[in-house]
Structure 1
Amino acid sequence: MFFLFDYSPYIAIIGDVKNSRNIKERKEFQNKLNEILNEINKIYSDSIASNFTITLGDEFQGLLYSGKNVMNIIQYIKKESYPVKIRFGVGIGAITTDIDSNISIGADGPGYYKARDSIEQLKILEKKKESEYGDIQIKIDGDNNFQELSLNSILKLMYCIEKEWTKKQREVVYYVLFEKQNQTETARYFNVTQSNIQQILSKTHFYAYRDAFNSVNKILSEVKRNVKL
């Protein structure tokens, strides 16, 4: 086992929209974000203990009882929100209050504390102009410092790869990642040659990125509760 827990923790995810005041059509984006979260709640319902919910104009949160789809959820939100950027705080720990499965408001505990700490740390790193701070931070309750360091190191390396993608490269990468199509099918979808897709995947370091993506999902899949509430 990768994690050290003597109880079954939850995974809390808090999303915080960057520079939300600079979004020209804020109401339209909030409506779009609400639609994205509704899709997440449908697609990944088997992992969700409390549905993803907008809590403030520029924040949302959700609670998972299984970690197997954490990266899928985060990257889906990033894909659908682009070019708007979002920072994600992930907290692994207990929830000490009642949980409403329909809406992620009111629940509290170390899981959410850790997710909030992650968001605040990302904001501090951004203010310090540390260029490789990333956009996802994980904090874990208990004696899991090594595990936390390892996961965040992988996430930072993934960010270093991802931040160099062009819009077109990003579309191709996300298509291959989520639709799980080969190069030939991807080329047909984008109406380009297979060699063109091969070049894009090579320039974006897609296969290294995908391996890291799958590794984080696999590690986090160890976090699971026996019963869905």
Structure 2
Amino acid sequence: MFFSFKNDPYIAVIGDIKESKRIENRSEVQKKLKQVLEEINEKYINDISSKFMITLGDEFQGLLCNGSNIMDIISEIERKMYPVKIRFGIGVGTITTDVNKEMSVGADGPAYYKARNAIETLKDNENKKQTNAADIRIEVEGDNQAITIMINTILLLLTVIKESWSDRQREIIWDMLKHQDSQINVAKRFKIKQPAVQKSLSKGKYYAYKDALDTIVKALAEIRR
């Protein structure tokens, strides 16, 4: 057991586009984000208590009833929105208001407070010009400090690895994560030789990244209503 809860928790996710005011085609980015969130809502319908939706011009949020696919959801949003960069605050805790399946706006409680605090902490770290500040942070209600620190440390290390990727390494690693199959199949999709895939995976520290990601996924899968 990684976590301990007195009540059945929800998982609130708040996403925030980085440096959004510097984006020239903001309306197109927001249109694309809306489409991506609609795809997430359809694909992960069994995990979602309140659908993901844009709440402000540069922010969006959603509410999950279990953590099994949260990293897949975040990764899919990252992939589809790239090169736009997004920070994610994850809050685990109770919801004190009614939960509307169709609309996450209006819900309130510790889960959202934690997610908001996670986002603000990420922003503060970026403003302090910390080297390799994380782009995902989790905060958890209750007596779960040790596991929360561990997960946030791993999330920081994942960010460090991601920031080291070349464009080609990113394409190949994201393809590998998306399809979960062999290097040979990746090579076929990219129309390159298998050793080139192996080289990109090795230089991009794919297997260390995947092991660390799997650890987080295993821990978050415990969280469910």
Normalized against structure 1, the TM-score is what?
Answer: 0.97
Q: Equivalent residue for 1:46?
A: 46
Provide the rounded CA distance (Å) in 2 between the counterparts of 1:15 and 1:102: 18
3-state SS of paired residue (1:60): strand
Question: 1:144-159 alignment to 2 at 5 Å?
Answer: 144-159=144-159
The answer to whether residue 125 in structure 2 is matched with residue 120 in structure 1 is no
Q: Equivalent residue for 1:201?
A: 201
Provide the rounded CA distance (Å) in 2 between the counterparts of 1:148 and 1:91: 11
Q: Equivalent residue for 1:96?
A: 96
Provide the rounded CA distance (Å) in 1 between the counterparts of 2:103 and 2:170: 31
The answer to whether residue 20 in structure 2 is matched with residue 17 in structure 1 is no
Work out the percentage of aligned pairs sharing the same amino acid: 48
Instruction: Give the C-alpha shift of residue 2 in structure 1.
Output: 1.0
Instruction: Give the C-alpha shift of residue 167 in structure 1.
Output: 1.6
Instruction: Give the C-alpha shift of residue 189 in structure 1.
Output: 0.4
Q: Equivalent residue for 1:73?
A: 73
- What does the per-residue CA deviation read over 1:193-216, in whole Å, with 9 as the maximum and x for residues that have no partner? 000000000001111111111111
Provide the rounded CA distance (Å) in 2 between the counterparts of 1:38 and 1:214: 26
Provide the rounded CA distance (Å) in 2 between the counterparts of 1:13 and 1:124: 18
The one-letter amino acid paired with 2:178 is: F
- In the comparison of the two structures, how many residue pairs are matched? 225
3-state SS of paired residue (1:49): strand
Instruction: Give the C-alpha shift of residue 181 in structure 1.
Output: 2.0
Provide the rounded CA distance (Å) in 2 between the counterparts of 1:166 and 1:12: 32
Provide the rounded CA distance (Å) in 1 between the counterparts of 2:70 and 2:15: 12
Instruction: Give the C-alpha shift of residue 173 in structure 1.
Output: 0.7
- What does the per-residue CA deviation read over 1:17-55, in whole Å, with 9 as the maximum and x for residues that have no partner? 001111111111101000110111111111111110000
The one-letter amino acid paired with 1:205 is: K
Instruction: Give the C-alpha shift of residue 86 in structure 1.
Output: 0.5
Q: Equivalent residue for 2:165?
A: 165
Unaligned runs of 5+ in 2: none
The one-letter amino acid paired with 1:191 is: K
The one-letter amino acid paired with 1:57 is: G
Instruction: Give the C-alpha shift of residue 131 in structure 1.
Output: 1.1
3-state SS of paired residue (2:55): strand
Provide the rounded CA distance (Å) in 2 between the counterparts of 1:214 and 1:144: 20
The one-letter amino acid paired with 2:4 is: L
Provide the rounded CA distance (Å) in 2 between the counterparts of 1:216 and 1:222: 10
Normalized against structure 2, the TM-score is what?
Answer: 0.98
3-state SS of paired residue (2:13): strand
Q: Equivalent residue for 1:180?
A: 180
Provide the rounded CA distance (Å) in 1 between the counterparts of 2:176 and 2:195: 15
Instruction: Give the C-alpha shift of residue 117 in structure 1.
Output: 0.1
The one-letter amino acid paired with 1:223 is: I
Instruction: Give the C-alpha shift of residue 133 in structure 1.
Output: 2.0
- What does the per-residue CA deviation read over 1:100-128, in whole Å, with 9 as the maximum and x for residues that have no partner? 11111100000000000000001111111
Provide the rounded CA distance (Å) in 2 between the counterparts of 1:55 and 1:136: 19
Q: Structure 1 stretches (4+) deviating beyond 3 angstroms?
A: none
Q: Equivalent residue for 2:37?
A: 37
3-state SS of paired residue (1:181): coil
Provide the rounded CA distance (Å) in 1 between the counterparts of 2:59 and 2:175: 26
Give the root-mean-square deviation of aligned CA atoms. Answer: 0.7
Provide the rounded CA distance (Å) in 1 between the counterparts of 2:217 and 2:51: 20
